[in-house]
Amino acid sequence: MPFSAPDTATRELILSATDVTVAYGQHKALDGLNLEIREGELVGIIGPNGAGKTSFIRALCGRTRVTGDLNVAGTDLRRSTDRRRHIALVPQDIGLYPHLTARENLTVIGRLLGLKDRAAINQALETVEMSQHAKTRVSEMSGGMKRRINVAAAIMTGPKLVIFDEPTAGVDAPARDTVHRLARALADQGKAVILITHELEQAEALCDKILVLCKGKRLAFEPPARLLERSFENQREVMVRYATPPEPEVLNAMQPFAFTPGEMPTIWVAMTNANEVSFVSAFLTALKGENDLVREISVRRPGLTALMHRVEKTGQIAA
């Protein structure tokens, strides 16, 4: 049944984190995090390596010592003996028995979790749209189907908060899209959902809010459009692709335009506040006879990928 709450303020508060700190010795992996997530919200957590993303998930799952307050649906997580009722973690890897069917897998996992109710299995299969494949062996399933059953196994206890921990690492594109669609669908059904991902373009399109972490600190927590507006205002990203990596004289000509290396040696990226047409025209003029080397120039509004580069370089979201 689709979830429909009239506005954000009336939605139930699911996760409340107040001054949450995770320390390994003297080193604070997570440093005084404050956060609220409500039912129906899909929150993407992004940040450079070592930002504290995993430490936060470990804190939520009770796998590390934590100071501060962590509440899920009004339950103090530090005192709860039954986190699984409140929180589901969808792991990176498939944790299923390949020779068993979908239903057999969920039955075994349900028993391990102390679930006696078959209805929970049916409900989970229905939620991930796999009811018609209940009798299919996992070994005969596509990557996307296995991911769906993996999610079903995680949500059988009926948690209010579902965490996807980098579920798309090393996964092919269709399976990745399946996982992302499921994360969105669970939020649309009223769950609070956390997605830790390096798929920044997808996070931008899917998530209601983005939490940006860097060196254990919260840099931002807001809807992606607002975050990008605040970070880049009217800036544009200019991407140039050359036929071959630029020679020193081309690099010299590029210098006044502050290009930085892109994801391949042939790709270079610059940010500009100027009118983009003037920028591109001035750049091509500066290249003079080397113009022929340019295969492509594109101009776009900076997205979360550009934001992540900035955070990696400067530790900040605004220039």
Ligand X SMILES: Nc1ncnc2c1ncn2[C@@H]1O[C@H](COP(=O)(O)OP(=O)(O)OP(=O)(O)O)[C@@H](O)[C@H]1O
**Please, which residues bridge with residue 299 across strands?**
238
Nearest to 144 by CA among 173, 183, 114: 173
Query: Which lies closer to ligand X via its Cβ, residue 197 or residue 272?
Result: 197
249-308 residues near ligand X, rule: CB under 6 A: none
Side-chain half-sphere of 181: how many Cα atoms within 13 Å? Answer: 13
State the nearest-atom distance from the C-beta of 101 to ligand X, in Å: 34
> What dihedral do alpha carbons 49, 28, 193, 300 form, nearest 10°?
-40
**Please, which residues bridge with residue 20 across strands?**
33
Which listed residue (55, 101, 127, 157) binds ligand X by CB under 6 A? Answer: 55
7-36 residues near ligand X, rule: CB under 6 A: 24, 27, 29
Query: Which lies closer to ligand X via its Cβ, residue 68 or residue 245?
Result: 68
Token pair 């303020």 is found at: 9
Token pair 């039955």 is found at: 107
Query: Which lies closer to ligand X via its Cβ, residue 50 or residue 68?
Result: 50
Query: Which lies closer to ligand X via its Cβ, residue 31 or residue 39?
Result: 31
33 within 8 A of 21, measured Cβ to Cβ: yes
Side-chain half-sphere of 319: how many Cα atoms within 13 Å? Answer: 12
Query: Which lies closer to ligand X via its Cβ, residue 160 or residue 218?
Result: 218
d(CA 89, CA 156) in angstroms, rounded, equals 11
Token pair 């544009």 is found at: 236
Size of the site for ligand X (CB under 6 A): 11
State the nearest-atom distance from the C-beta of 4 to ligand X, in Å: 34
State the nearest-atom distance from the C-beta of 136 to ligand X, in Å: 33
State the nearest-atom distance from the C-beta of 14 to ligand X, in Å: 22
Residue 65 lies near ligand X (rule: CB under 6 A): no
State the nearest-atom distance from the C-beta of 153 to ligand X, in Å: 23
Query: Which lies closer to ligand X via its Cβ, residue 221 or residue 268?
Result: 221
The SS3 call for residue 40 is coil
Taking each helix axis from N to C end, the angle separating 118-127 and 143-155, rounded to the nearest 10 degrees, works out to 140
State the nearest-atom distance from the C-beta of 182 to ligand X, in Å: 22
d(CA 271, CA 300) in angstroms, rounded, equals 10
218 within 8 A of 33, measured Cβ to Cβ: yes
State the nearest-atom distance from the C-beta of 292 to ligand X, in Å: 41
State the nearest-atom distance from the C-beta of 26 to ligand X, in Å: 10
State the nearest-atom distance from the C-beta of 16 to ligand X, in Å: 20
d(CA 317, CA 115) in angstroms, rounded, equals 45
The SS3 call for residue 73 is coil
d(CA 81, CA 62) in angstroms, rounded, equals 10
Query: Which lies closer to ligand X via its Cβ, residue 149 or residue 203?
Result: 203
Q: Mask 96-115, x = binds ligand X (CB under 6 A)? A: --------------------
33-52 residues near ligand X, rule: CB under 6 A: 47, 49-52
d(CA 210, CA 198) in angstroms, rounded, equals 12
Piece in contact with ligand X (CB under 6 A), picked from 5-13, 53-61, 260-268, 269-277: 53-61
Query: Which lies closer to ligand X via its Cβ, residue 50 or residue 302?
Result: 50
Where does this chain bind ligand X (CB under 6 A)?
A: 24, 27, 29, 47, 49-55
